[in-house]
Amino acid sequence: MKFKQSEKLYNKGLENLVGAVNSPVRAFASVGGNPLFIDKAKGSKIKDVDGNRYIDMVLSYGPMILGHRHKKVEKAISKALKNGYSFGASTNAEIKLAKIVCDAFPGMDKVRFVNSGTEAVLSAIRLARAHTGNDKIIKFSGCYHGHMDAMLVAAGSGLATLSLPGSKGVPSLAVENTLIAEYNNLESVKKHIEENSDIAAVILEPVTGNMGVVQPSDAFIKGLRELTKEHGVLLICDEVMTGFRSKFGGAQELIGIEADITCLGKVIGGGFPVGAYGASNEIMENVAPLGGMYQAGTLSGNPIAMAAGISTLTELKRQNPYEKFEKIAGKIETILLEGAKKYNVDLTVNKFGSMINPFFAAEEVKNFTDAQKCDTDKFAVFFWEMIKNGVFLPPSQFESWFLCSALSDKDVENFEKAVDAAMKMVAGK
């Protein structure tokens, strides 16, 4: 397999793009080598500029749940394009998509569309502060909530350490109201609540995807919901990644909780830039023009993005592929574990609905500390061998893989062959 055109574009891109990319993970820094440049995609496949075809398990990090260029979504987009690209005014499509989203989430009466997951989170946090009158936010190490200053926080070695900026350019004052807890550790949250009387909200990915797929224990997630209610702290569930991926709606219903505020993105845009945050009438009526919490955006509710979202969710509900996703994820888990066992490679696999990923570790991964113990060098070898054998994966040990409803039995067969070749190489055989 050759990558000459990708290499050529990478070198050309270095001139006017930062690192030749527009998002850091695309730079392949954690796996080595130059990034691949993609030319086109259809269904479950993606093709790079050198003509190499891959089974796509990145799926634009989640939104292409129906596969690429689904005919009904393409038709809806084409129809919307004929009416105009952007109006800076309200459209009927916004109302239609809002109803679909609100109907899918118990307790969500109103939703506000924005343009990204980062926007959804920063707005949700502002809303929580406006509603409660408090300033502090608790987040969990290993949970990513976009690149806003207050969420780019690195946890120290302790469970209740002082917050430290996780990026240059983030002033210490920007994160002084952000407290760090450990995922799946309720005591770390209790400690913060005991020591701080001005906490507005706890934010988490109900099932993580940015330290790899990690599910919450039943005791942790239900205890967290009870704890926040008891102390008048809002619970924000960041379902940008999990929304509509495990069921038609959110992961919350499956794990047995209901958040106060929910953040969404990915699938609800059908591949276009869309984010959203929603909650009960009581909370959402704080948002302008109904209330004093200001948030705005010229391109929010863009008619093309709304058309893509409506079409994607309508087709997703019709297909109801969630049982299929469970079966395929189970097959992939078995393939990975058996391949690792065959070549004596330490591996554990986590999955949830249509999200799955392996960790090159002997022990179960329950939080970010566990995830950081993984052998990232082995993952880098595995990644490139999977690429060479026709499977496109996220270039990071700590990113979830995604399934689409266009995946075929033949794709799974080819995936199995690729895993065998990759595990053999990881083992050095």
Residues belonging to the active site: 144, 238, 266
What six digits make up the tokens of 185? 């550790």
What span, in angstroms and rounded, lies between the C-alpha atoms of 338 and 350?
Answer: 15
CA 350 to chain centre: 15
DSSP 147: S
What six digits make up the tokens of 135? 């300033």
Question: In this structure, are residues 275 and 118 in contact, taking their beta carbons and an 8 Å threshold?
Answer: yes
What span, in angstroms and rounded, lies between the C-alpha atoms of 174 and 406?
Answer: 43
What span, in angstroms and rounded, lies between the C-alpha atoms of 112 and 208?
Answer: 23
What span, in angstroms and rounded, lies between the C-alpha atoms of 17 and 238?
Answer: 30
What six digits make up the tokens of 172? 């210490």
As to burial, measured by CB atoms within 10 angstroms (0-12 exposed, 13-18 middle, 19+ buried), residue 142 is: buried
What span, in angstroms and rounded, lies between the C-alpha atoms of 267 and 104?
Answer: 13
Q: Are strands 199-204 and 178-181 parallel, antiparallel or unpaired?
A: unpaired
Please give the radius of gyration of the chain, using alpha carbons only, rounded to the nearest integer: 21
Neighbours of 297 (CB within 10 A): 15
